[in-house]
Amino acid sequence: MRTRRALTAAACGMALLAAAGCGSSYDDEADAPQDEGGGSQKLTVLIATSGEAETAAVQAAADAYEAESGNTVEVQVAQDMNQQLGQAFAGGEPPDVFYVDSSQFANYAHGGSLYPYGDEITDVDDFSPSLRQSFTYEDQLVCVPKDTSSLGLVVNTGLWQEAGLTEADYPTTWDELSAVAAQLTGGDVTGLVTSNEYQRLGAFMKQAGGWVTDETQTEVTAASPENTEALEFVQGMLADGSMRFAADVDAGWAGEAFGKGRAAMTIEGSWLAGAMELDFPDIAYTVLPLPEGPAGPGTLAFTNCWGVAQDSAHRESAVELVEFLTQGEQQIAMGEAFGAIPSRQSAAAEYLAAHPEDEAWGASGEGVQGPVTARGFDRVLAQFNTDLESLRTGDPEAILSDLQRYGEAALEENQ
């Protein structure tokens, strides 16, 4: 059981905003900017921080890099990351290093805004394969993931015990999840509250053996019996009232509903830890693996990468900074500071050994699905999320058919 610590990892997958990158081509080597000669380099880092703890952790790492390298680093906090990056790319004055959301990665990579430095990072194979795939464009690892979090089933231990449930009742299958959610529902409490986003409900699709696209993200696989089965299961829980969306319980997001005791369970990643520590420090909770579906275990993993600007005048030093920030010891320090799970597998193993309560948030293996990062697909998934708002009374097959159609059109535009 945990009541501890740490402000959140960046809220990966919480929103899908369209912003196309623009800039010079990867092949423009003759005109590509290089590090200024002589003296120390002055680097700018733009981050989309989740709170003071994350900002302080990045600043501490930047300070350590300054002391080791002799370069200087200015850490800036974005108010609207996608908007500010898009404007910076268009204006030709991007930050040297910056967070890149997975939903925007392919847009920026296609526009030539990102310098592909993946093969310059030491022991790059230590990064989780699924996370590396999320930031691979045209068979090239463009940028490395800064951290990660998988989804877990988060249980309010007080409400759990009040319902007469014990650890033996922790759900491991869909049927068990449905049963305990019904038992926990009553009065102002709903058994399971989450968002209507594919970034949460998509876990059920994975557990059923489905997903939005194939592994290469070149074929849309949305309109499948497996995905239909997943949405029909969620629809059944919504219909009997044992599951509700956050907006239906007057909450801005599922974490708020959970913290205020309106939800006995929720499905969230490690970013929930910071919200609980900051806003609901007295609520005790346990993080469990998501229950298995008909095809076995399944969860979704989210991350950002450390982008380096193609137009940076300090690319060599910028890559050096990313190398420093993604060392195992630095990733573990970030985890200690704000709960981010290291993206290096060796560092993640060490971190999770010290924090077994976070194990579900650090899930790895075949059951872990990364986000769809195909260029232009952010708009498709935004529409899918809108359609999912009406899932309780809607037609799952029709919703998935629309996703299939819109997705195929987006992929066709990429050809």
Share of the chain above pLDDT 70, in %: 90
User: Could you read off the pLDDT of 358-414 as tens digits, one per residue?
Assistant: 999 998 888 999 889 888 899 999 999 999 999 999 999 999 999 999 999 999 988
Confidence of residue 51 (pLDDT cuts 50, 70, 90): confident
The encoded tokens of residue 187 equal 């009065």
- The more confident residue out of 204 and 149 is 204
User: Could you read off the pLDDT of 147-162 as tens digits, one per residue?
Assistant: 999 999 999 999 999 9
Confidence of residue 70 (pLDDT cuts 50, 70, 90): very high
User: Could you read off the pLDDT of 286-296 as tens digits, one per residue?
Assistant: 999 999 999 99
Radius of gyration of the chain (CA): 21
DSSP state of 404: H
Which pLDDT does position 68 carry in this prediction?
Answer: 95
Mean pLDDT over residues 236-250, rounded? 97
What dihedral angle (degrees, nearest 10) is formed by the CA atoms of 32, 304, 362, 274? 140
Q: What is the pTM of this model?
A: 0.84
Which pLDDT does position 256 carry in this prediction?
Answer: 95
**Domain ranges within the chain, ordered by starting residue:** 42-148+303-369, 151-301+376-414
Confidence of residue 35 (pLDDT cuts 50, 70, 90): low
Confidence of residue 76 (pLDDT cuts 50, 70, 90): very high
pLDDT of 13 higher than 60: no
Locus of tokens 């309560």: 357
User: Could you read off the pLDDT of 83-127 as tens digits, one per residue?
Assistant: 999 999 999 999 999 999 988 999 999 999 999 999 999 999 999
CATH topology of domain 151-301+376-414: D-Maltodextrin-Binding Protein; domain 2 (3.40.190)
Length of the chain: 415
pLDDT of 277 higher than 90: no
Which pLDDT does position 39 carry in this prediction?
Answer: 62
Mean pLDDT score across all residues of the chain: 89
Which pLDDT does position 20 carry in this prediction?
Answer: 31
pLDDT of 5 higher than 60: no
42-148+303-369 and 151-301+376-414 have identical folds: yes
The encoded tokens of residue 52 equal 């003071």
Helices (H), 174-314: 174-184, 198-207, 225-240, 254-259, 271-279
What dihedral angle (degrees, nearest 10) is formed by the CA atoms of 225, 229, 235, 240? 150
- For 9-18, 64-73, 166-175, 284-293, which range has the lowest pLDDT when averaged over its residues? 9-18
Q: Residues 294, 209: contact at Cβ < 8 Å?
A: yes
Q: Residues 48, 10: contact at Cβ < 8 Å?
A: yes
In Å, what is the CA distance from 106 to each residue of 14, 35, 77, 150?
18, 26, 23, 21
The architecture that CATH gives domain 42-148+303-369 is 3-Layer(aba) Sandwich (3.40)
The encoded tokens of residue 294 equal 């008909």
> CA 118, CA 137: separation in Å to the nearest integer?
11
Which pLDDT does position 117 carry in this prediction?
Answer: 98
Helix axes 198-207, 377-388, angle to 10 degrees: 90
> CA 83, CA 295: separation in Å to the nearest integer?
39
Neighbours of 323 (CB within 10 A): 17
